[in-house]
Amino acid sequence: MRIFHFLAFSLLFFVACNQETKQLPIYGERTPVEKQENGTTTVDTIYHTIPDFSLLNQDSVLITQERFNDKIYIANFFFTHCPSICPTMQRNMLELYQEFKDEPSISFLSHSIDFKYDSPSVLKEYANKLGVNDDRWQFVTGSKKEVYGLADMYMVYTQEDENAPGGYDHQGYLLLIDKEKRIRGAYDGTEKEQVALLQEDIKVLLNE
């Protein structure tokens, strides 16, 4: 019994240390910038970040990047009447939302790519049906230029396509964004294994 307890403790210690020492990558282009200070030249790295935005949420309130200051957040792109990957992706997102319900520094952001149909009232009904009951998860809409431009900055493919199910073609990635608005991970939101990896990487980022 003592051996079992020792092995169990060792395993927990190894997992905890692993989470503390694991480093998540930073996605996107990076630019070296030289700085002069006290006659010494140093090089800083400017990382790709998510730019400022202003989009309407499910309560018809303008949401900007400021809402996510000092937050880690998970972002994705969807549309409410999507007949293909969105239902699975959003159910998996909901599991994360419920898993981290007691962690105030974690937020969620879903961008609708259907700028024609997904009004704030439609997004509100969708959020209610999904079971979202607080402001930790924002559902936002905007013009095609605004939302599709943001998708490019998240490095997610989105496109109107009359031949695609529901009229839109898009990737089902869940993007992990850190407090500096940098992309730290991209996960297939339709795959349970990928969502489980995202869950663990959120914990890593919380300890960073």
Q: Which residues are annotated as a binding site?
A: 82, 86, 170
Kindly give the pairing relationship between strand 137-141 and strand 54-57.
antiparallel
| CA–CA distance, 181 with 204 (Å, rounded to integer) | 16
Radius of gyration of the chain (CA): 19
Distance of CA 63 to the CA centre of its chain: 16
* DSSP per-residue codes, 9-75: HHHHHHHHHHHHH------S-EEEEEEEETTEEEEEEEEP-PPP-EEEETTS-EEEGGGGTT-EEEE
**Residues that constitute the known binding site for Cu cation:** 82, 86, 170
